[in-house]
Structure formats: structure tokens, C-alpha cells
Structure 1
Amino acid sequence: MRTPVNGELIWVQSGGRITMFLYMSAAAGIPRAAGSRARVSNVVVPVIHAVPKRGVVYRHPTRVSVHHGEISAGPVFAVLAAGDGASFKGNRGDFRAIAATGRSRRAFVYVLPVDRVRTGDWWEGYVRLGPGRWVAIPCPRPEAVYNRIPNRMLERHPVSVHAKHALEELDIPAFNPGYFDKSVIYQIIHQAGLNRYLPESATDLGASALHRLLSRHEGVYLKPTGGSIGHGIMRIDRQGRGFRLAVLKHRRCHVYWADSWKPLWRLVCRHRLPGRYVIQAAVPLIRYQGRPCDFRVLLQKRDGGWTVVGKGVRVAGSNTITTHVPNGGRIASASDVLTSVFGEKGERVNQGVDDMAIACAEAIDAHYGQRLGEMSMDIGVDAGGSPWFFEANSKPMKFDEPDIWTQSLAGILDHLQTLARRTAR
């Protein structure tokens, strides 16, 4: 029998020890003679035909199949989190949503802290029993892993690095490998022959490079190469013979004025964050209801190819230099904005955004050895309808648009399944 039927993975505690079983009801149609044990990922567990009355810690639906008399169940996936054991770090709301999507598809998804990646057959994974209740249970090795280590510092931690190397050594596929560096991404886009989509940029912040770009453009952005949510971004606009400098820190925008180049450079040096910056020419963006806006585009890999899952618009707030919602921006419908600005040509502009996003995603993925499974992009559109690449994020935050968020969860499970199947061949 190849057609999968439904079963349950059950964890039972007895004598201080938790044991995993595969439960199969008599109605499942699998003869008991087919075997009393089943393979789940890399381990073999007992098959039971009645649920114990006491000691059940956790239950999870699964798919069961029999091939040449051998029972197997699964699939089993993990979300890689930072931290130690029960104090694992990451967005637990997102973990909960991913696990719930897996449950709806009978795929077991558990949270795997980096310090729980081991060489043994059984690993310690975390599952949610209720609000705020995450408990550890013995889990098989995952067949594929979704990396959601929540920030760059934790990604660089030796335990995280060791965990990712261990997954590679065990031939367990994982995505995504780490966070992007803006300067590297700009170089990838340029080298792929896609620089027509990239505003003029300099991959390092220096006085000569800044002076050069300011002499060619009315405004420029200075962006930390490893920044997020706009923190540390600066925008400089020429104002007659002087300059206006806006600095975004801790979700507040501060404005300064300089009457010439030298005091401007001193202001930049004073307010920049530690670390590297890139410089990028400011593109005159389309406006919606009087305010500049840009597009947030979510892309995922489906069956080996990149596809646009969805896009939304972020409209700038009244006193900010970015469109990020946490910094005062607001959400708008992409179709409404495109129709409002371009009328009947809106669909053509929309397709141009998609085409550019997919081309850039393919170039970035190729640079990272095809190890990416999703990314989001910030894309601007000018008055002529041309798209402009601003930045890409390897670990997208939750999209506020419910339909995009729901589709993204399904896409994560689809890609995990694809990776698992590819490795099993």
C-alpha cells in the first residue's frame, strides 16, 4: 500500500521518561501483521493501536504509509531558533503559526534551539501545549530545517555556527543560511547585469564617495549594511547651497542643517552608527494620497523556481525618511495604488515589478549556492513606472496582509517538503 493514511504521533511519559509512538486505529486499514514498528525520519518507533489512558504528553497528526511491509510516518521538520533550551529566542508567534500550518497538513514541525543540534538519533525539540507553555520532547532528526535565528548577532554566535555546520555534516537541508549584507547584495545585482534596477550606489561610506553622489543627485540615503527596520538610516537632501540631514534612530527622525559640505560631513560622522554604510541615490517615488510610497514584495521558491507570493505598499508617515510601518508608515493595497497612479497601465507596472523581483532573487540565490527559500524586497517605482531595487531581506518579517501571510506559511511547508524529498532521492 502506497497511499498514505492518517495516524498520530504520540509522546507518553512513564517512569520519568518520554517515549514516542505511532498510533494507528483499526479503521486505518493497515493490518497489524504489517509490523509493530514504524520509521519516522531517522528513528524507528513502536506502533500502538490504542491510546494510553494516562501519561500522554503530546499528540500530533501524521501521514502513514506501508511499502513492502514497512511502515513509515511523517514528514518531520524543524524551525531553527537561537538560545539555550527552553529559553530559545525568536518570534514565538511565528513559530506557533508555522507549527499550526504543519499540523493542518499532518507534518510535524518542532522548534529546535541551536544548542540541541546533536549527533545522536534523538534530539530535544520544543512543542507548544498552550499559551506560553513550550515543553521539550524527544524528536527524530528533522528531514529539513527552516532557519529563523532572529538577528545577526545570534546568527554569528559560535553555537549557531556549530549547529549549522552540524546540519550540513548530517546532510540535513536547511534554508536560509544567514542575513544579507546590503553592500554584497548591491554587488550581486550589479554583476548579474541588473544594475539598471539599482539606483547609483557606493558600497562604502567615505567623504569622496558621498561628495560624488551628492553632486549628481538631489538626495541620497546612507544605510547601515546590516541594519533593519530603518534604524540608523540617514537621508541628505540638497537645499540651495546647503544640506538637510535627517537621521532615523529608535523610530524617531531628527533633522539637522548644514550650510556647506564640511559641516555636513561632521554631522554624518557624528550620527552614523558603528559599522559599514552604503550610499544610495534617492529615487523620486510615486506618491499615494500625497505621500511617497514603495512596495514590499514577498518571494518564495516553489518547485525550484522563484515566484512572487504577494506584495503590499508602505506609505511614508508625516515625519520619517522610510516607509516602515514601525516608523510611522502605513499599509495600502498595491492594486489600489497602481490604479490610482497609473490607471490602465497599472497592470503593466505591476508585472514589471514582479519581473525585476524574480530576476534579482535568482541572482542573489545563485550567489548563495541556491540555499535560499524565501526573501522579501523593498522596491520603488518612479513616475514613469520603472521599478528600482532598494534592498532584500533573507528572513522576512511577518507581512501585515493576512492573505500574503497565510500563503507564506504554506510556502514554507512546501519548500521544506521539496528539500526533504530531494535529499531522500
Structure 2
Amino acid sequence: MSSFGIMTLSLENEKSYITEIAKFGEATGFNVYQFVPSSYNPLTEKVSGKVFDKDKNAWYKQDFPIPDFLYDRCYYQDDAHSRQCKNIVEWLKQKEDTVFIGNGLPNKLKLYDVLKASKLNAYIPKSKPVLSAEELLEELSFVNPIMIKPINGSQGNGIYFIKEQNSCIHVRTDKKAKHVEHIFSDKEKFSRWLAQLLQKNDYFSQVYLPLCTAQKQPFDIRALLQKNEQNTWEIVEKGIRLGTEGRIISNLSAGAAVIPFKEWLENAPYTMKSFIETEIDDILTTLPPILEQTFPALFELGVDIGITENGSLWILDVNSKPGRKVILQAYPDLSGKLYRAPLAYAAMLRDGQRRNSNEKTLFY
């Protein structure tokens, strides 16, 4: 059988998701492995990780050669271990005998530049790098309030709402179970705080968009897109993330609830519901070809779309390593399809139907 490797930054990451994938290994003709890229030993040309035993429904530690097909589920941060793993993964992408079932996207600002220059530019919030506290304060005098987000961020971490009010700077953020707010009485104190933040991560700014319900609950649409066994894109499903009142993000890690898209749309306050649904599907159909014209071939995308009170749509985020929680909670009957998908796509590539990464793919 062929070998299929799932790469993570820790063998403890995404355990349940990876195990569910592995259960489909035998049916699709794969032995399934998990490993951390930094475990690669150049002397033995092997990695240390785990192999799945279907009969015992268990993982066992093992050293093994780099698998034939790789699924990158590493969420890289700005730490030494992430950089080490990322360098090894980039090296693996150059190996002729290794096939990645999908490639990652660049940081959010590079992605912004591509989308802003595309036919989807009307749906992209204006963004720019945060280079200094002085520059952000100047921007705040024209755009108030404002959001800042980490360029390499994920899962809603490190997002700040900043507003100047009554000669003070109000800064709010969500940290999983709690909402945190700081009020800076003068701009010098705020500048020192922001300077320390910028030393840790690179940030970009966006105009604040009021993406919340009448009850002040933040919400957005999470769509999951994947390539099927015919190498064509599908909109797997769409779900709504509905956050807690007063929060600034609607991520599940911050306590958001999940609602199936159709159910939410039936009760949505918008007068042009059918138009909004059509517009969302047009965005999702147009997006993958735009990305694959610039970046290496992809396998899946998580797309977050926001809607303002007047029905305006905005693309908030595009992720090439999306989670499954929103779709699984809203549509549990799709679990088998979602868990089998990476292996089914790898099987298609293995069976000689792989296309050139520069070739345009169809949308189904």
C-alpha cells in the first residue's frame, strides 16, 4: 500500500481528527502516519512519529521514511520550532518523490494584495501593515475605530479592537473564556504597549466592520471548500458562527455557537436573502481559481465571510488549513465525507490523475 503522512507541530495536535482520517486508510489503499517535521533525521532519512493500526484502532510509535503523500496540518507561529519545521517542509516540497495534497497560502498581507487586485476586490476590507505606534495613531485620527490582526495569525488569536474616545485609547480583545479591555489615558502609554506588541508579531490594520446582530453578537459565515476525486472544487457546506454578546470575534475558541447556514438564513433580517445567498456562492466559486493562478495548487480552503447590517459582504479570512468544527457541528452527517476527503484526494493523485499545478481547475 501507499503511505500517507499527516504533519503537525506536535503529535498531540488534532488527535481526534487525524485518527478519524486514519480509519479510512485501508479502504483507500494507504498506511497512515503522523509525524512532526523536526523529527527528520538526515543520517537515516527517516522521521519519528506514529503509525495507525486499523485492526487495533490504535497508534504506535515508529521511525519510518518520509511517506509518499503528505498532508500539512502545521499551524506555524513566530517561534524557533515553527521556523525549523517550516524550513523542513519547504525542503520536502522540493523532493520529486514526495507529493503534497495541497500547499499553504502566504501571510495575510500577501494574500490581501492578490485578492485586492482581483475581481473580488470589492469584498476585501482595506488593509495595511502596522509599522509603528505613531503611524497607527495617525491612521486612527482618520479611521476610528480600527482593528489590528497578526499577519500570521490563526483561530482569532491576537486580534484587537482599538478606538479613540474622550481623549483615551480603548483596546479590546478576546482571550478564549474572557473579554479583556484596556483604557490608556494618554497616547504615550498606548504607544509603549503597541511597540511591545509589534516586537512579538507583525500586524496589519483594517477598518472596523460592524459584523454583529441586533443583540450585539458578532457573527460570520464559515464555508469549507475542498477538491473532490475529480479534482474539481466543491462548496462542502456553510455554517454560521454566532459569538457571545459584547465580544469582538465569533471564533469557537471564544465560545461561539454554530448554526447551519440555511437555518440562519431563514431567520435573517435581510430583505434580499436569495441575493445574499447567490452572492456568497459567487464569491466562493470565484475565489479558488484566483488563488491557484498565483499560488501553488491547493486542496481545501476555509473562507470566513462577514455581513454588515445593510447586507454588505466582506471576505474576512481565507485559510488553507481550515478546521472542521463548524461544519461538523452544523452537519454531523458529513463527518464520513470530511474524514475520508484527504485520503480520497491523495488516491486520485496516486492513480495518475494529478494535474499540473499551473493548470486551472474546474468548480463543481
> TM (normalized to structure 2)?
0.79
Secondary structure of 1:228's match?
coil
Hey, what does 1:337 align to over in structure 2?
264
1:349 to 259, 276, 285: 276
Query: Is 1:379 paired with 2:309?
Result: no
Deviation at 1:126, TM superposition (A): 0.8
Query: Equivalent residues in 2 for 1:230-245 (5 A)?
Result: 230-239=156-165, 242-245=168-171
Hey, what does 1:305 align to over in structure 2?
232
**Matched letter for residue 299 of structure 1:** L
Deviation at 1:416, TM superposition (A): 1.4
1:111 to 24, 33, 44: 33
Name the stretch that deviates more: 243-252 or 350-359.
Answer: 243-252
**1:383-412 CA deviation, whole Å, 9 max, x = no partner?**
332320111222112224333544322332
Tell me, in whole angstroms, the C-alpha distance in 1 between the residues paired with 2:355 and 2:141. Answer: 56
Deviation at 1:97, TM superposition (A): 0.7
Query: Is 1:315 paired with 2:242?
Result: yes
Secondary structure of 1:335's match?
helix
Tell me, in whole angstroms, the C-alpha distance in 2 between the residues paired with 1:213 and 1:203. Answer: 11
Which one has the bigger strand percentage?
1
Query: Is 1:359 paired with 2:289?
Result: no
Q: 1:123 and 1:280, CA in 2 relative to 1: closer, same or farther beyond 3 A?
A: closer
Hey, what does 2:322 align to over in structure 1?
396
Tell me, in whole angstroms, the C-alpha distance in 1 between the residues paired with 2:260 and 2:46. Answer: 46
Hey, what does 2:361 align to over in structure 1?
none
Hey, what does 2:182 align to over in structure 1?
256
Hey, what does 2:74 align to over in structure 1?
149
Deviation at 1:120, TM superposition (A): 9.2
Q: 1:358 and 1:109, CA in 2 relative to 1: closer, same or farther beyond 3 A?
A: farther
Q: 1:329 and 1:112, CA in 2 relative to 1: closer, same or farther beyond 3 A?
A: closer
**1:299-342 CA deviation, whole Å, 9 max, x = no partner?**
11233333221111111213432111111222222222222224
**Matched letter for residue 17 of structure 2:** D
Secondary structure of 1:157's match?
helix
Secondary structure of 2:5's match?
strand
Tell me, in whole angstroms, the C-alpha distance in 1 between the residues paired with 2:155 and 2:41. Answer: 30
Hey, what does 1:419 align to over in structure 2?
349
Hey, what does 1:199 align to over in structure 2?
125
**Matched letter for residue 353 of structure 2:** R
Q: Which has the higher contact order (CA 8 A, sep 6+)?
A: 2
Q: 1:214 and 1:334, CA in 2 relative to 1: closer, same or farther beyond 3 A?
A: farther
Tell me, in whole angstroms, the C-alpha distance in 2 between the residues paired with 1:238 and 1:128. Answer: 57
Query: Is 1:100 paired with 2:27?
Result: no
Secondary structure of 2:13's match?
coil
Query: Equivalent residues in 2 for 1:22-37 (5 A)?
Result: none
Deviation at 1:110, TM superposition (A): 0.8
Query: Equivalent residues in 2 for 1:24-173 (5 A)?
Result: 40-41=1-2, 76-82=3-9, 88-103=11-26, 105-113=27-35, 114=37, 115=39, 126-128=51-53, 130=56, 133-136=59-62, 142-152=67-77, 153=79, 154-157=81-84, 161-162=87-88, 165-166=91-92, 168-173=94-99
The answer to whether the 8 A contact 1:225-1:277 is kept is yes
**Matched letter for residue 51 of structure 2:** Y
Where does the alignment leave 5 or more consecutive residues of structure 2 unmatched? 357-364
Higher Cα radius of gyration = 1
Percent of paired sites with the same residue: 21
Hey, what does 2:337 align to over in structure 1?
407
1:324 to 251, 276, 288: 251
Name the stretch that deviates more: 300-309 or 206-215.
Answer: 206-215
Deviation at 1:272, TM superposition (A): 5.4
**1:118-140 CA deviation, whole Å, 9 max, x = no partner?**
8999998611465764243878x
Name the stretch that deviates more: 189-198 or 166-175.
Answer: 166-175
Q: 1:146 and 1:192, CA in 2 relative to 1: closer, same or farther beyond 3 A?
A: same
Where does the alignment leave 5 or more consecutive residues of structure 1 unmatched? 1-39, 42-75
Task: State the superposition RMSD in angstroms.
Answer: 3.4
Q: 1:264 and 1:309, CA in 2 relative to 1: closer, same or farther beyond 3 A?
A: same
Secondary structure of 2:321's match?
coil
Q: 1:209 and 1:410, CA in 2 relative to 1: closer, same or farther beyond 3 A?
A: farther
Secondary structure of 1:90's match?
coil
Tell me, in whole angstroms, the C-alpha distance in 2 between the residues paired with 1:261 and 1:195. Answer: 34
**Matched letter for residue 144 of structure 1:** F
> TM (normalized to structure 1)?
0.69
The answer to whether the 8 A contact 1:306-1:362 is kept is no
**Matched letter for residue 422 of structure 1:** Q
Q: 1:256 and 1:162, CA in 2 relative to 1: closer, same or farther beyond 3 A?
A: closer
Hey, what does 1:247 align to over in structure 2?
173
Tell me, in whole angstroms, the C-alpha distance in 2 between the residues paired with 1:120 and 1:264. Answer: 52
Q: 1:102 and 1:272, CA in 2 relative to 1: closer, same or farther beyond 3 A?
A: same
1:187 to 105, 113, 119: 113
Tell me, in whole angstroms, the C-alpha distance in 2 between the residues paired with 1:285 and 1:423. Answer: 40
Hey, what does 1:220 align to over in structure 2?
146
Q: 1:320 and 1:268, CA in 2 relative to 1: closer, same or farther beyond 3 A?
A: farther
The answer to whether the 8 A contact 1:91-1:150 is kept is no
Q: 1:353 and 1:245, CA in 2 relative to 1: closer, same or farther beyond 3 A?
A: same
Secondary structure of 1:229's match?
coil
Q: 1:195 and 1:204, CA in 2 relative to 1: closer, same or farther beyond 3 A?
A: farther
**1:193-242 CA deviation, whole Å, 9 max, x = no partner?**
42211112113343465345434444221101122222221101343554
Tell me, in whole angstroms, the C-alpha distance in 2 between the residues paired with 1:291 and 1:163. Answer: 39
